Amino acid sequence: MNRRALPIPCGVLLLAFLAFLAAAPLAAQRTAAARIPAPHPLAARLAAASEPLPLDDRDDAALAFSGLADASLPAYRRRLLDVVAGFQATVAGTFDPALLASRALEYLHVATLRRYDFHQVRIDTLLDDGTYNCVSSAVLYLILARSVGLSVGGVRTTDHAFCVVQVGAKTVDVETTNPYGYDPGSRKEFTDSFGKVTGFAYVPPTNYRDRTPVGERGLLALVLHDRVSFAIERGDHAAALEPAVTGWTLAGDVLAREALVTTVSNNAVLLGQSRRYDEAVTLLEETERAFGADADLVLRRQEMLHNQVGSLVEAGDLDGAESVLAAPPRSGLFEPADRLELQVWVVQVRADRSARKKDYPAAAATVAEGIDRLGAVADLLGAFEVYTHNAFAQLYNARRFAEAKTLLEAALARYPASRVIKADLESTVQAMER
């Protein structure tokens, strides 16, 4: 299975599919979830809201989507409102939108932001210690600027995110990770310091193909997206699932869909590597019921079922393997050619058990039953021919020619195109005539 990389604000996203048949043991920190969690209730509410979003819901979402527990939400809401009130007090009597927009960034860096940290997307942590990345700083800027009536949105690039603010007829970029980031293309101080702090390059408005407007809802969704990415990076795939589900519910865009599919796939793969195949398939089925079919997830489910059968066969549970292959509803989830190949394999393994005991008639009979059930598959016909020949050889060498003739005539009726069985029958008839 190929690993997939997706774009991430503030870094290279590590939403990669795990190697499906990896033989190495799992790292201790890797965890997997077996059920689809419910999205955060605010996600559906904001998904249906028009922008600008309701202030209370938006502020609560900024904290809740950061992963803050519900019990802690009231305290952090008060702290967030205190930051807003402090900014409003500093700009009281200011009405120029350009000045308000630039002062919001200045206040952010003077009063709140302390240190850039690529992985620090949580708004509650930002309030605690001032660490931030591009997404968390952009969300807090959005909250401050909106509090004084400015129209603010977001922009996502391949590896970064920032804000845009409407100033009269002009849309101005605000690179929130930098104190000189208001209208950054016009500030030498910005170009001298930005890349050194973040490692990113500024994407000017003229590079419109590299910029994706995301609006307020999109900025909030990037908080969830970063949480998914960083959880996967540290191997905590279970922790990635809820923000992925919430992100898809909130944004419903290509980025959120890719994150959801990748996260579900990673969890299913980990479950499969732990031989928890039923749970993996259930997880994939729940995802399809909740969010619609996806070609990658259908493929992942087929791989899980394939490996479940393989695991049962290797454990010697042929009846269990045949049950998975034959019992609805999951028997119908296999890719047809793969299901047939696995069924043939089970028949061959079952026949080989008899062959190892030199009971070639029983081995041939097992394959014959498989042909009756599955059709004249080339591999089964070949096995039937081999086991029939070996059974004939036992009888021929014991000079039990009549029994050999009966065996071969019945076999030839089943497989009339077999040259080996025809030749064996001719040899038997000749021996009987001598």
Question: Would you say residue 115 has pLDDT above 80?
Answer: yes
pLDDT for res 225: 97
Question: Would you say residue 233 has pLDDT above 50?
Answer: yes
C-alpha span between 404 and 426 (Å, rounded): 11
The domain 335-433 is placed in CATH, from the list 2.60.40, 1.25.40, 1.10.3470, 3.30.310, at 1.25.40
Average pLDDT over residues 100-114: 97
The per-residue pLDDT for range 392-407, each reduced to its tens digit, is 999 999 999 999 999 9
Average pLDDT over residues 355-381: 97
Name the pLDDT band for 208 (thresholds 50, 70, 90). Answer: low
Average pLDDT over residues 53-57: 94
Average pLDDT over residues 106-116: 96
pLDDT for res 158: 86
Question: Would you say residue 206 has pLDDT above 90?
Answer: no
Domain ranges of the chain: 7-18+27-272, 335-433
C-alpha span between 434 and 426 (Å, rounded): 13
Q: What 3-state DSSP class applies to 164?
A: strand
In order, the DSSP letters of 40-84 are: PHHHHHHHTSPSSPPHHHHHHHHHHTTT--GGGHHHHHHHHHHHH
pLDDT for res 434: 77
The per-residue pLDDT for range 263-309, each reduced to its tens digit, is 999 999 999 999 999 999 999 999 999 999 999 999 999 999 999 99
3-state secondary structure 240-271: HHHHHHHHHHHHCCHHHHHHHHHHHHHHHHHH
Name the pLDDT band for 27 (thresholds 50, 70, 90). Answer: very low
Question: Would you say residue 9 has pLDDT above 60?
Answer: no
